[in-house]
Amino acid sequence: MTKDAEIDMKEVELREMDPEKQPMTGDGPPAGGEKNGTVKVKVPDNEVTFTGLSKEELMKVAGTPAWVRTRWALLILFWVGWIGMLAGAIVIIVQAPRCKPIPEMNWWNEGPLYQISDSDAFADGLAGVEERLDEINKLKVKGLVLGPLHTIQRDRPATLNLKEIDPTKGNKPALLAVLEKAHKKGISVVLDLTPNYLGNALWFSPSELDDVMEKVNDAAEYWLGFGVDGIKVSDFTSATNSVDWSKFQAAVKGNLTEETRKRVLMGVVKNVSDVELSELVNGTSVDLVLSNLLSRSNGGVQRIMDMNTLSSQQRSVAWGLGAAQEDQLSKRATTPALIRLYQLLLFTMPGTPVFTYGDEIGLQAIGTESPKMVWDIEKEPVEGAAVNDTAEVQRKEYVAVRKWFRSLSELRVKERSLLHGDYYPLSSSASSLSFLRIWDQSERYITAVNWGAAPETLTFKLEATEGLELPETATVKLATDEALVVDSTVTLDKFVLAPGQAVLLQFP
C-alpha cells in the first residue's frame, strides 16, 4: 500500500470514530446533500402573525357603549380606592398617640460633668489633663469642670489674681491645649473662679465683696474670651449680695452668636434645704446649681422628698455625692458595692450627675489630701513577674467599677427617660428608695437602691396618675447583685433587694 493510501485510510477511520461527524439519521447520508450536524426547518407559507388592531378599529371599539361604561367604572373605582386610602391615613394619624415635645436641652443636661478640682492629681498638671482626654472622653462626659487654677494666698485678697494660673498647676498654653482638644471631642470646659478657694471665707469679708466681685466679673470676661464654656463659683449665695452680681451674670450668659456654644453659669451651695434650693434656682437665674443635699441626708425618705421638690427643675439641678465639697465619691461610699450603688443612683436621678476625678474607678480618698489619679489599669502583670496580690485585686476592682460607670453613662446619654424623663416616687425607707423615670413612648426605668445592712422588701406604689400604671414584671437592665441576672424577668410585687445592692429595671 502506498503512503498516500495509508493517509486516506486514517482519515476515514477518524471520521467514523468522531460522533460529531456521524449523520443525524444514522441511515446514510443526509437528504439534499447537507452536511452532518445541519438541520433544515421548513416554515409554512401560510403562518399567521398577530399585528394588533389598527387605529380605525380601536376608535370604533372605544366609542361603543360597553367600553364607555367599563371606563367609567374603572375610573370611579380608582378614585374611591384613592380617597379611601387617604381617609384611612388621616384616621391613623389622628388616632395615633401624640409625641411629647422634647424639652429644651443644654449641653450640661446631656450627660455627666467631670470635675478636676486639683490638676496636681494628674501627672504634669494641665498638660496631664490634656494627655488623658482620650480616656476621659470614653466616659461619655459632656463637660470638664477645672480648677480653681488662679493664684491666691490664703485669706489675703491683695494677692488675688484671677487672670493668672498658678505655675504649680500649669500655664495658659497648657489650658489652651486642653480647650482645643476637649472641643474637638465635643466636651465643654468650665473654669472655677471661686476667689478664696484656699481659705474658709470663699468671698473674703462682706466689706470686700464688691471689690472681689468686680475682679471675678473682669476675669470671667477674660477667660470666656480665651475659650472656656462657662464659669463656676462656690458659695454663690454670698456673691448674689454684691451690686455687681447681675453684671457678672450678663458677662457669662451674654454676647452669644449663632456660632458660639451656650455658656453655663454654675453655682455651688451647701447646707440648704430642698425648698431653699428650689427658690435659689428660680430666683438667681443660675443655669446649674450643685448642692450637697445627697450627702447631707442619709435617709431614703428625705432623699425622695428632695427629688420630689426638685424634679420639675431637673435641668437646673446637679447632683453629686461629695462633688459639692470637691471630694471623691469613695469618701462617703466606703465599699466597692456602695460606689456602684451611688453611681447608679446619680446617673438615674432627675438632674445632672457631677463626679470628681477618680469616681469612675472608685479611687480611694485618704485623709484631707487629694488622691493621685490612677491610669493604665487595663495593663495586665507581665507573665512570670512578681505580683503584689493586694495591688492586683485593687487593679481588677478599678477595672470592674469603670466598666460599670461606662455602662451607666452610655445608657443615660441614649435613653430619653433617664436623660430628661418625668420622675415618680415609688417607695422609701430609712435605708432604701425607688423611683420611676419615663418619657412618652420610650423605654421606662425603675431605680431601686438599698444602702442598708439588711434586705429590704420594696413595695412599688405609684400614686394615681392618668394613663400610667406599673406592669406585673420588669426586666433587669443593670444590677450590682449577681443574683439579679441581666435580661432576666422579675416580679414587681414585693420586690426584695439585698443589703448594699442596687438595680435598674426596664419595661416597655
DSSP code per residue over 397-436: HHHHHHHHHHHHHHHHHH-HHHHH-EEEEEEE-SSEEEEE
**Cell numbers standing for residue 378:** 487595663
3-state secondary structure of 240: coil
- Predicted confidence at residue 389, as pLDDT, reads 85
Per-residue model confidence (pLDDT) at position 254? 80
The C-alpha atoms of residue 146 and residue 450 are separated, in whole angstroms, by 33
Other residues' Cβ atoms within 10 Å of the Cβ of residue 153: 12
Q: The whole model's pTM is what?
A: 0.81
User: For 421-452, b where at least 16 C-beta lie within 10 A, e where not — what string?
Assistant: bbbbbbbbbebbbbbbbbbeebbbbbbbbbbb
Q: What is the pLDDT along the chain (508 residues), one digit of tens a residue?
A: 444 545 455 454 444 445 444 444 444 454 444 445 555 555 555 655 666 667 777 777 777 887 788 888 888 999 999 999 999 888 887 776 677 788 888 999 999 999 998 888 888 899 999 999 999 999 999 999 999 999 999 999 999 999 999 999 999 999 999 999 999 999 999 999 999 999 989 999 999 999 999 999 999 999 999 999 999 999 999 999 999 999 999 999 887 666 677 899 999 999 999 999 999 999 888 999 999 999 987 899 999 999 999 999 999 999 999 999 999 999 999 999 999 999 999 999 999 999 999 999 999 877 777 899 999 898 888 777 778 889 899 999 999 999 999 999 999 999 999 999 999 999 999 999 999 999 998 999 999 999 999 999 999 999 877 778 899 999 999 999 999 999 999 999 999 999 999 999 999 9
**Which position has the grid cell 505580683?**
387
Residue 25 pLDDT: 46
* Grid cell digits, residue 298: 442619709
DSSP letter at 190? Answer: E
For residue 68, the 8-state DSSP code is H
**pLDDT value at residue 84:** 92
Separation CA 407–CA 418 (nearest Å): 13
Mind listing the domains of the chain with CATH numbers? Answer: 107-414 (3.20.20.80), 425-507 (2.60.40.1180)
List, as one string, the DSSP characters of 103-145.
Answer: PP--GGGSS-EEEES-GGGSTTTHHHHHHTHHHHHTTT-SEEE
- Written as nine digits, the cell of 274 is 430642698
Q: Which long-range contacts link 386-395 to residues 24+ away (Cβ below 8 Å)?
A: none
